[in-house]
Structure 1
């Protein structure tokens, strides 16, 4: 991997890790639904501008129904669920749960598109979900202000990402990735706006919250997608997906530096087990003793 590619990979991880920090700052003021609607609106304007600049705008109308489904599964629904989760969980903790996305992706691909799994990948799935149990052990409570609902919401969000990945692969294969990114953001914004109108905050919103949602829309969504798809084209999807392993590092780092969030030994242990399982389940680690299809 070239130095430039490595630098962009680290930048992408830093941006996506920072998204949990900015959600944590802005969601108390906006609420989960209104926050995501504004975020998607800003990202849509930014990405549509890129499409106009590259002469690809007309391609947005080629698959409106399919892009709308991806808009729900890959943006509107998981963004709302993760924003809700950050109301009661730290940025670092939420970013670790987000690292289960490739686990769900591998499992759903196996069930839906019949993608074969090796024994190593099956083992990786089991290890990854053991990591989730390690991470949330003793923290799941559904009474009072317990974090149980937030943990469930975060895991449902990552499951939705997994479904979106298989849907995109099955029904939007061969479509320009930038068109998919822009169309899904725009569709998510359009579909979520009527609901967001019912949950508009009735109080004034501070400057820090507005700046946070602006950064979420432009940097953590628009710029991040451009970096992601550029890396996919240059170094391939298997190497680009390693960004998933770096996001919790930055999520915990930004939370610690800017919000004084604690990083516990349990968080580090859970993150390590989840990432080990992810490496196996995505095939990035292929032990010679268990490489036969299950």
Structure 2
């Protein structure tokens, strides 16, 4: 992996890890619906401006059904669920729950595509699940019964990503940039009807407004551009490694900026989840570095 790509990888992990920080800051005032509508709205506008610069035409009507499915399962549903969970759970917990998406993807693939799991992948699932239990179990005890629904929401958000991953395997072939751009506008349409029923909870502070703008423009719009550049330069396998770096930054930002504690359950739970996810996906940092060294 080139130095430039490695720096992009670190920046991408830091940005996506920061998304949980910004949600944690703004969720209680904006509420899930308004927070995510602003997030996808800012992202959609940002990507539209980029498309003008790159002279890329988005065939939204021609791929309407596809974009709506991606917008629902890859953006609207998981973003809303994480925003709801962010009203209660720490940024570190949210980022680790997010990393279980690969495990959900493999599990759903068993039924959707009749995919087979190796013994290593099956063991990885068990290890990953034990990591989630270790992480959220202590949080649930500390927060109380009010943590049950937010934890479930975070888990279902990762499950939604797993559904989206399996859908894309048989979905119409659309350029990566168009998928990012189109699914953001689809998410805007999907979430819009929820606004009258899930109102904002208060007057947002300047700090919270800045967090929402950063969440949309940087953590969504700019992050997608970084990700697609990384995929184009290094391939999907290399880009996958960002999954294992996001919780590191999610925990770091939560501790550094929000003064969230890093307990033994955070360290052990995160290690188990990431280790299990690597086993499920077959990702090996050592093999990846060796392969790049031989190229």
Same fold? TM cut 0.5: yes
Gap change, CA 1:124 and 1:56, over 3 Å in 2: same
In the TM superposition, structure 1's runs of 4+ consecutive aligned residues that sit over 6 Å from their partners are: none
Length, aligned pairs only:
285
* Cα RMSD, aligned residues only: 1.8
Match of 2:69 in 1: 69
Aligned equivalent of 2:93: 93
> How far is the alpha carbon of 1:115 from its aligned partner?
2.7
The residue aligned with 2:288 is none
Q: Are residues 1:79 and 2:87 paired?
A: no
Q: For residues 192 and 154 of structure 1, do their structure 2 counterparts lie closer, same or farther at Cα, with a shift above 3 Å needed?
A: same
> Which residue does the alignment assign to 1:291?
none
Is the contact made by 1:48 and 1:57 (CA closer than 8 Å) also made in structure 2?
A: no
The answer for the alignment partner of 1:289 in structure 2 is: none
Cα–Cα, structure 1 residues 39 and 133, in superposed 2: closer, same or farther, change >3 Å? same
Is contact 2:30–2:202 with CA below 8 Å preserved after alignment?
A: no
Per-residue CA deviation, residues 255-275 of structure 1 (Å, 9 max, x unaligned), is: 111111111111110000011
Equivalent residues in 2 for 1:47-66 (5 A)? Answer: 47-66=47-66
Partner residue, 1:221 = 220
Q: How does 1:174-185 map to 2 (within 5 A)?
A: 174-185=173-184
Map residues 33-52 of structure 1 onto 2, 5 A cutoff: 33-52=33-52
- Give unpaired runs (5+ residues) of structure 1: 287-294
- Return the offset for 1:110: 2.5
2 CA distance for matches of 1:9 and 1:61? 33
- Provide TM-score, normalisation by structure 2: 0.92
CA deviations over 1:15-34 (Å, ceiling 9, x no partner): 00000000011111100111
Q: Work out the CA distance in 2 between the residues paired with 1:202 and 1:248.
A: 29
The gaps in structure 2 that reach 5 residues or longer are 286-295
Aligned to 1:165: 165
> How far does the alpha carbon of each residue in 1:231-270 deviate from its partner, in whole angstroms, 9 at most, with x for none?
1111111111111111111001111111111111111100
State the distance in 2 between where 1:65 and 1:7 align.
36
Structure 1 position 202, deviation (Å): 6.0
> What do the CA deviations read for 1:75-111 (whole angstroms, capped 9, x no partner)?
1110010011111111111111111111111111222
CA distance 1:248–1:202, change in 2 (3 Å): closer
Q: Deviations over 1:195-216 (max 9, x none)?
A: 1133332632211111000000
